[in-house]
Amino acid sequence: MLGSSGIFVKISESSPSLIAFYRAFLALPFLFIWMKYEGSSDESIEWNSRNLFFLFLGGICFAFDMAIWNWSLSFTSVANATLMANTAPVFVVLFGLLFLSYKIKFSFIITLLIALVGVFLVIMPGEKAMVFGDSLGLVAAIFYAGYILSIKDLTNVLKPAKTLFLVTFITALCLLPISLIESGGLAITASEFILLLAYAIFSQTIAQGLITSGISKVSAHLSSLVLLMQPVAAAFYGWLLLEEMLSPIQIFGGLIVLVAIYMASKR
């Protein structure tokens, strides 16, 4: 599902930050319904400094991740931006080891590197390096890593639906002033509203909802590695919907990613 996010951003007529704001803002009602459906047995949680820190860190990181990645698409190709964004697992491992005392086996790091090689083969950027746009994609990956680590910590004390609703609420608050400054207002056309509503439902409510539920059950670094399925899915969409041919090298790269995910996730 996340593999289709770039399509929504590319066909939207709004500014990058405004697209990110509406993705978060329009998803809130649906996330609220999911939160109420899931139940509220965890409402007695003690909001200590750690929980509040990861709540605001997750919201802020996700806001900057979406805004910066959307902007990167204006300065580089979808392939390059996707490749840079999918370096997030590297930063998840790095931050987990340095700041959160994660115990990560060396074999997992090797598997991660193998998966990243597969991702590179799938993407195979055909255009020359666009330093500014590619750098934005890399910065977005750093913020996405912070988001994943924050979500993982919060789901230890909150249910997935409540975690995603609260973090998305903080994200929308962060993006609101950025969008106002960048766009000069929040006005959009009716057709643009429908497009961004579909984007919010598909990418933020359903896709991020599934991701948050998954992260609550496995480690953060394994979650980030499994998310390398995203560029493989994007390549598949291109073949299925846009009749873009897949080269044997791209297919081989996709198989490498799938095998690496299996190697990392099997008991």
Q: What is the pLDDT of residues 207-217, one digit of tens each?
A: 999 999 988 88
Average pLDDT of the residues of the chain: 84
Percent of the chain topping pLDDT 90: 33
Q: Average pLDDT, stretch 26-52?
A: 83
75-111 pLDDT tens trace: 776 666 777 777 788 888 888 887 777 787 888 888 8
How much is the pLDDT for 170?
97
Question: Residue 244's pLDDT is what?
Answer: 65
Residue 232 has pLDDT above 90, yes or no: no
> What pLDDT was estimated at residue 58?
95
- Residue 41 has a pLDDT of 53
Cβ 200 vs Cβ 22: under 8 Å: yes
| Section 150-157 average pLDDT | 91
**Taking a C-beta distance cutoff of 8 angstroms, is the pair 8, 66 a contact?**
no
- In angstroms, rounded to a whole number, what is the distance separating the alpha carbons of residues 38 and 216? 14
Q: Is 242 a residue whose pLDDT tops 70?
A: no
pLDDT at 13: 87
pTM for the full model?
0.83
Choice among 62-66, 149-153, 253-257 with the minimum mean pLDDT: 253-257
Spatial CA neighbour of 125 closest among 79, 167, 70: 79
Query: In terms of pLDDT, which residue wins out, 124 or 259?
Result: 259
What is the pLDDT confidence band of residue 57, given thresholds at 50, 70 and 90? very high
Distances (CA, A) of 96 to 44, 54, 84, 116: 28, 14, 20, 18
Write the burial class of residue 19 (CB in 10 Å: 0-12 exposed, 13-18 middle, 19+ buried).
buried
Rounded CA separation 203/216 (Å): 18
Band (202; pLDDT cuts 50, 70, 90): very high
Confidence of residue 40 (pLDDT cuts 50, 70, 90): low
Cβ burial, residue 183 (10 Å; 0-12/13-18/19+): middle
Residues near 245 by Cβ (< 8 Å), separated by ≥ 6? 239
Task: Tell me, letter by letter, the H, E, C secondary structure of the chain.
Answer: CHHHHHHHHHHCCCCHHHHHHHHHHHHHHHHHHHHHHHCCCCCCCCCCHHHHHHHHHHHHHHHHHHHHHHHHCCCCCHHHHHHHHCCHHHHHHHHHHHHCCCCCCHHHHHHHHHHHHHHHHHHCCCCCCCHHHHHHHHHHHHHHHHHHHHHHHHCCCCCHHHHHHHHHHHHHHHHHHHHHHHHCCCCCCHHHHHHHHHHHHHHHHHHHHHHHHHHCCCCHHHHHHHCCHHHHHHHHHHHHHCCCCCCHHHHHHHHHHHHHHHHHHCC
What pLDDT is recorded for position 62? 94
pLDDT at 54: 94
